[in-house]
Chain A
Amino acid sequence: MIEVSEVRKAFNQGRHNEYWALKGISLTIEAKKVTALCGPSGSGKTTLLTIIGCLARPTSGRVRLKERDISGLPERFLTDIRRSTFGFVFQQFNLIKGLSALDNVMLPAYPLGGDWRALRARAESLLDSLGLAHRREARVEWLSGGEQQRVAIARALVNDPEVLIADEPTANLDTALSKEFLAILEALAEQGRTVLLTSHDPLVVEAAVIDSVIDMRDGQIVGIR
């Protein structure tokens, strides 16, 4: 589904603090599979995630999404693709404080201008399915870490993307909550959703739900399990 070939990414290019986060990455991510990018911090896995998720563009190399080269597209088209194809769960959850859980879940669909009632119903059912029916109207900062993450997952799914991207999903969770997350992951995999996540948490990497693990170090792939 997603093909990455010879992707390199530099930060502060041409300046004295130039830094290459990715040094030639090539890989293929299959549809309807759960793929984990594994490696220590600084290995470039988050950067790779941003490039695949159309949040950033590679310095060189190509990214192909469903046979279409997306690495050279202008920002507007990237935003379009990002909206329709990817859902993001960020490490810090990045929910908007002061708004209710429901509002947060509905946010990504606002610029699409779809029917509001349908959107609200969809957001409610997503929250219900993640066991947050009773906390719909609660402000997100009143929620626990696990609840916040589930709101973030619901938000990532509200536009019904084909690919769910999660950056270090268990970094801020304890073991019990991490297991809960894995359960959600399993449910998503069963629905046939493509999931791409980064982690250096053995609990995640060794979980049965993960189909393949890509080991990274210093901006390069060091192994595929």
Chain B
Amino acid sequence: MKTWIEKQKALIDFTLASLARRKIKNLGLLLVYTLIVFLLASVMLFTHALRKEAGKVLENSPEVIVQRLVAGRHDLIPPGYLEKIGRIRGVQKKEGRLWGYYYDGVLKANYTFMVPQPDALMAVESGKIAVGATMARMRGLVPGNTISFRSYSGKLFSFEVSSVLPNKSELVSADLVLLSEADFRAFFELPPGYYNDIVLSVANPLEVRNIATKLSTLLPDSRPILREEVLRTYESIFNWREGIVLVLLSGAILAFAIFAWEKASGLSAEEKREIGILKAIGWETGDVIKMKFWEGALVSLAAFLLGYIAAYLHVFRFSSWLFEPVLKGWAVLYPRFELTPEVDGFQVATLFLFTVFPYAVATIVPIWRAAITDPDAVMRG
């Protein structure tokens, strides 16, 4: 065992000394390699954490949302719908939601106006509003300030900011403006009894699908949306965005793959001669291959570990600032949020396999052919 360790250490000595001969080139390779791992790992960690975050936050959202559709488009819920639903068994709580969009020309951004549900402990008095932290930051609002919005009918409404929503919840509240029902109806000129949609709480999660089916028979012009569908939709959105980043990255990855393959597998005449010398002075074919294995393993392992650590810090300690422009898209109100580090061991293992393994193989395979040459080739040459 001790001999074995000593031998591997000696082989590592040699392979590192060999690499050190072309310091700039090999360090450059390591750097690019690390960068690729860093980017891939960042995308992976970020999307996974975001997906988990969305899942956890939206776990608390209502089980079913009922929309009414007119001519295939989302429309207001007329009076009487709430009562009709009341007859479905298994529905624990039902509430009409009031919300709408308001375009603010100052920020060139859309706000989401919303009325807190009566029992929500977040009720806002008439004439006052509570605003999301992102929007408050962008407009420089603090509690006590007054802000005016021109409604779609042209009238000017002034509100006093009573509170700013906790900035820890920016992920769900960035563009929210909470106001009282009376103010909301006045601002958007919404007749009494009308709602945007209805949210339902269902006691038994197994019942959700049944209730959705019953709803669509009861209210044929409605569309029930289940929470699980919302979650899946989010999943797919993150997949898309992850997809774009990966598409953008794929060019770089391919270029690196070619470069690494060329570097790792293309044996120069000089290297071939060296292998001949090693064999002539008493190295076995297996020794040469082990030595090259160490080269591939050390380089790729170093790149993986460094890249992963950098990616972790980037995503969870530096708020993924590199990705922000891509993820933001055209969003003006981009929430400031810190992702909860959810690391999927399986994903890390996959990344490890896909980054370390190919490079290690690429270094060994060509050596195989060179290493089985006859040791007397050196003498003849």
B282 and A108 within 8 A (CB): yes
Q: Which of chain B's residues have a CB closer than 8 A to the CB of A103?
A: 14, 17
Q: Which of chain B's residues have a CB closer than 8 A to the CB of A112?
A: 3, 7
Count, chain B residues at interface, CB 8 A: 32
With A98-B18, A98-B21 as known contacts, state yes or no: A90 contacts B280, CB within 8 Å: yes
A114 and B9 within 8 A (CB): no
A159 and B280 within 8 A (CB): no
With A90-B280, A90-B378, A94-B280 as known contacts, state yes or no: A111 contacts B10, CB within 8 Å: yes
- Judged by a CB distance under 8 angstroms, whether A135 is at the interface is no
- Judged by a CB distance under 8 angstroms, whether A88 is at the interface is yes
Q: What per-residue 1/0 map shows which CB atoms of B13-31 lie under 8 Å from chain A? A: 1100110010000000000
- Judged by a CB distance under 8 angstroms, whether B281 is at the interface is yes
With A110-B7, A115-B6, A116-B10 as known contacts, state yes or no: A76 contacts B284, CB within 8 Å: yes
Closest residue to B374 on the A side, CB-wise?
A56
Name the interface size band of chain A. 20 to 34
- Judged by a CB distance under 8 angstroms, whether B283 is at the interface is yes
Q: How far, in whole Å, are A156 and B9 apart by their CA atoms in the complex?
A: 22
- Judged by a CB distance under 8 angstroms, whether A167 is at the interface is yes
Q: Which of chain A's residues have a CB closer than 8 A to the CB of B379?
A: 46, 49-50, 55, 90-91, 167
Q: Which of chain A's residues have a CB closer than 8 A to the CB of B378?
A: 90, 94
B21 and A159 within 8 A (CB): no
B277 and A94 within 8 A (CB): yes
Task: Choose one: B4, B11, B277, B376; the contact of A110 (CB below 8 Å).
Answer: B11
Among A61-107, those with CB < 8 Å from B are 75-76, 79, 82-83, 88, 90-91, 94-99, 103, 107
- Judged by a CB distance under 8 angstroms, whether A113 is at the interface is yes
Q: Which of chain B's residues have a CB closer than 8 A to the CB of A114?
A: 3, 6
Closest residue to A81 on the B side, CB-wise?
B282
B10 and A110 within 8 A (CB): yes
Closest residue to B378 on the A side, CB-wise?
A94
A113 and B281 within 8 A (CB): no
Closest residue to B284 on the A side, CB-wise?
A79
A8 CB to nearest B CB, Å: 16
B6 and A111 within 8 A (CB): no
- Judged by a CB distance under 8 angstroms, whether A155 is at the interface is yes
Closest residue to A165 on the B side, CB-wise?
B379
- Judged by a CB distance under 8 angstroms, whether B274 is at the interface is yes
A113 and B282 within 8 A (CB): no
A96 and B6 within 8 A (CB): no
With A88-B280, A108-B282, A111-B284 as known contacts, state yes or no: A99 contacts B7, CB within 8 Å: no
With A50-B379, A114-B3 as known contacts, state yes or no: A155 contacts B281, CB within 8 Å: yes
A111 and B376 within 8 A (CB): no
B280 and A111 within 8 A (CB): no
Q: What per-residue 1/0 map shows which CB atoms of B87-98 lie under 8 Å from chain A? A: 000000000000
Q: Which of chain B's residues have a CB closer than 8 A to the CB of A94?
A: 277, 280, 378
Q: Which of chain B's residues have a CB closer than 8 A to the CB of A97?
A: 21, 270
B282 and A159 within 8 A (CB): yes
Closest residue to A158 on the B side, CB-wise?
B281
- Judged by a CB distance under 8 angstroms, whether B278 is at the interface is yes
Q: What per-residue 1/0 map shows which CB atoms of B266-291 lie under 8 Å from chain A? A: 00001000100110111111010000
A107 and B14 within 8 A (CB): yes
Closest residue to B285 on the A side, CB-wise?
A75
Q: Which of chain B's residues have a CB closer than 8 A to the CB of A82?
A: 282, 375
A110 and B14 within 8 A (CB): yes
B277 and A113 within 8 A (CB): no
Q: Which of chain B's residues have a CB closer than 8 A to the CB of A88?
A: 280-281
A99 and B21 within 8 A (CB): yes
B271 CB to nearest A CB, Å: 10
Q: Which of chain A's residues have a CB closer than 8 A to the CB of B8?
A: 113
Q: Which of chain B's residues have a CB closer than 8 A to the CB of A49?
A: 379
A113 and B10 within 8 A (CB): yes
With A49-B379, A50-B376, A98-B18 as known contacts, state yes or no: A110 contacts B13, CB within 8 Å: yes
B282 and A83 within 8 A (CB): yes
A56 and B376 within 8 A (CB): yes
B interface residues with partner A (beta carbon < 8 Å) = 2-11, 13-14, 17-18, 21, 270, 274, 277-278, 280-285, 287, 374-376, 378-380
A interface residues with partner B (beta carbon < 8 Å) = 46, 49-50, 55-56, 75-76, 79, 82-83, 88, 90-91, 94-99, 103, 107-116, 155-156, 159, 167
7 further A-B pairs in the complex, CB-CB below 8 A; given A90-B378, A96-B277: A79-B284, A110-B13, A111-B10, A111-B287, A113-B10, A116-B10, A159-B282
State the 4 A-B residue pairs at the shortest beta-carbon distance, nearest first.
Answer: A113-B7, A98-B21, A83-B282, A55-B376
Task: List 27 A–B pairs whose Cβ atoms lie within 8 Å, in order of A's numbering.
Answer: A46-B379, A46-B380, A75-B285, A76-B284, A79-B284, A82-B375, A95-B277, A96-B274, A97-B21, A107-B281, A110-B7, A110-B283, A111-B7, A111-B10, A111-B11, A111-B287, A112-B7, A113-B3, A113-B4, A113-B8, A113-B10, A114-B3, A114-B6, A115-B6, A116-B6, A155-B281, A167-B379
